[in-house]
Amino acid sequence: MAKGSRGRIVRIGAAQSGPVQKSDGRQAVVARLLELMKQAKAEGCDLVVFTELALTTFFPRYYAEDRADMDPWFETAMPNPATRPLFDFAAGNGIGFSLGYAELTPEGRHFNTQILVDNNGRIAAKYRKVHLPGHADYEPRRSFQHLEKRYFEPGDLGFPVSRAFGGVVGQCICNDRRWPETFRVMGLKGVELVVLGYNTPSTNSLRPEETAATRMHQNHLCMQAGAYQNSCWVVGVAKAGSEDGHHLMAGTAIVDPDGFIVAQADTEDDELVVHDCDLDACRFLKETTFNFVAHRRTEHYKIICEQTGAKPPK
Ligand code: CDV
């Protein structure tokens, strides 16, 4: 549908990042993100979605005995001098963005964070990753480490949604997309658009025979299911390619409320994927198949909040 013709159209630029190497400074990375924002502006986008930990390499693959040694990967303020150009561009050009980064708070807490910045360059919403994958200690059995549980605390903000860009917008980050609870909590808040970034290795460090194709299938499957089951748009944005010899999958995708991928990245590099997302397209399934008031049976769902592990019958 052409922008402006009918419906509540948000033109979204899903801004995939190519690899970011250990030695790449914030300024160089932000210059790449800014290029994508300029391209998005030229293509008439309202909102640019960047990836998880967009400003750095995916540092949880590296082990540090003293976790404080990892603090240089974290941002102590947002905006800060390095990221200020993104905010200035947003304010000067009336375009919003979401951005993932490692957050170190004044109290010394560490989070894997994503912010939503409005088209005035103001932070409209903040999300801190709830589902942290991986492990907290060095594990020699793995072919590479995934130490998110060592370097981050689980997010403490829940899954907030906010009114922005003419609709109801929610955020999650990477591993969150694999959990139906993530989308359903936001679905119960009327979410119409979920934006998320991901850094997903193309191989499984514990199951080398798992193919990249299987992992890409699972990446898309969970976003498509989350979109359909909650009748919302989902925009999933990768950091892709080889970082220090470790390959991250691409597959940046925009998924419609029927669960179809309507636009997808072709490369493993910096690439903007643009689509007009009609938020009114969320209405039909929200009012019929997924009319929560009419069909949900909460009396049978309590176990979801009371139990983590599965307990099969004896
Ligand atoms: N950054 C991530 O959260 N990555 C996980 C990997 C470890 C499986 C993901 O769910 O994609």
Closest Cα partner for 181 from 97, 307, 1?
Answer: 307
Counting atoms of ligand 1 from 1, which one is nearest the CA of 200? 11
Ligand 1 centroid, distance to 133 Cα (angstroms): 6
Nearest CA to ligand 1 atom 4: 200
pLDDT, tens digit, 9 for 90 and up, residues 13-22: 999 999 999 9
pLDDT, tens digit, 9 for 90 and up, residues 138-175: 999 998 999 999 999 999 999 999 999 999 999 999 99
How distant, in Å, are the alpha carbons of 59, 63, 73, 100, 172 from that of 69? 11, 10, 9, 21, 27
Pocket test for ligand 1, best of 130, 152, 198, 205 (most atoms within 8 A of CB): 198
Tokens of 240: 């892709």
Q: Name the band, by pLDDT with cuts 50, 70 and 90, for residue 7.
A: confident
Q: Which domains does the chain have, with CATH numbers?
A: 11-291 (3.60.110.10)
The helix (run of H) or strand (run of E) holding residue 198 is strand 193-198
With 0.95 as the threshold, say if the pTM is over it. yes
Has residue 4 got a pLDDT over 70?
no
The residue with greater pLDDT, 1 or 141, is 141
* Residue type for position 210: E
How distant, in Å, are the alpha carbons of 57, 59, 69, 103, 266 from that of 72? 12, 10, 7, 11, 33
Ligand 1 centroid, distance to 226 Cα (angstroms): 16
Cα–Cα distance measured from residue 144 to residue 251, given in angstroms and rounded to the nearest whole number = 22
The CA-to-CA distance between both ends of the chain, in Å, stands at 54
Q: Which residues line ligand 1 (CB under 6 A)?
A: 52, 133-134, 146, 174-175, 178, 198-200
Residue positions annotated with a catalytic role: 52, 129, 174
